[in-house]
Structure 1
Amino acid sequence: MHAEDETADWLGIPSPLETSKQHILLLENEIAELNQQLRAARENIFKLVNLQAQTESDRDEALARLRERSGEAARLRQHVRDLELTIRSQERANENLRRQIPETRMP
């Protein structure tokens, strides 16, 4: 067994301790990278939550404006209908007056 340890040295094969240290360094680097990614993901989530809150606020304001405009449109439609009825009644009254007035012909 002693001969194998001597050949490992000149062949460049790492010892179990060196292998463990290398593995520990790799894991530490991976953990550090994952922590960075986690922080970035948390920041993104925070931004998305704020965007959603702003979007909901904008939506609520838009819905309130839409309700106001719908009410205004309904009032205007009713006003148009009233005006149309008034016009029709005025046209009928004008027609009745035309019938009542005898046509005067110029000689």
Structure 2
Amino acid sequence: MNIDEDTSKWLGCPTPLEMYQHQCALLEDELIQTEAMLRKARANVAGLVQMNDLLATGKASAEAALRQALERNSAMNDEAPDNMSFRPIDLVTGQRDHLLRENQRLLMELKVLRGPHP
């Protein structure tokens, strides 16, 4: 029995050239997949940049509207007398209190006009 005999051709083992060619084919496939992923990533980045621009524009317009509202509010507070309020609940509360005092005053006048009860 001869153990030193080269059996690589018997088993169908590839030659070094065939191994290199196979490795090159694998690398080419990887490169094609990587290029596809890179194109997709570039498209995603372009979309994100566009979304960021839209958000920045929206943010700028919202900040401008906020500044205008704050300026109007400040102008209203500067123009309003100290005892006036622009909140509707404060206006209604003030009217209620005024009507209550007026009602009490009229009741007192009525009692005075009617005189004491016997």
Considering the TM-score relative to the shorter chain, is it more than 0.5?
A: yes
CA distance in 2, matches of 1:55, 1:17: 56
For the aligned residue pairs, the C-alpha RMSD in angstroms reads 1.8
Q: How many residues end up aligned between the 2 structures?
A: 83
Question: How far off is 1:78 after superposition?
Answer: 2.2
Q: How does 1:5-44 map to 2 (within 5 A)?
A: 7-44=7-44
Structure showing the higher helix proportion among its residues:
1
For structure 1, the 5+ residue unaligned runs are: 86-104
In the alignment, structure 1 residue 72 sits paired with structure 2 residue 94: no
What SS is found at the alignment partner of 1:11? Answer: coil
CA distance in structure 1 between the aligned counterparts of 2:24 and 2:66, rounded to whole angstroms = 62
Aligned-pair CA distance for 1:83: 5.5
Q: Equivalents in 2 of 1:84, 1:75: separation in Å?
A: 16
TM-score by length of 1: 0.69
Map Cα deviations across residues 38-79 of structure 1 (whole Å, 9 max, x no partner).
101100110111011111100110011001100111122223
- TM-score normalised per structure 2: 0.63
Unaligned 5+ residue runs, structure 2?
A: 85-111
CA distance in 2, matches of 1:44, 1:71: 40
Percent of pairs identical after alignment? Answer: 28
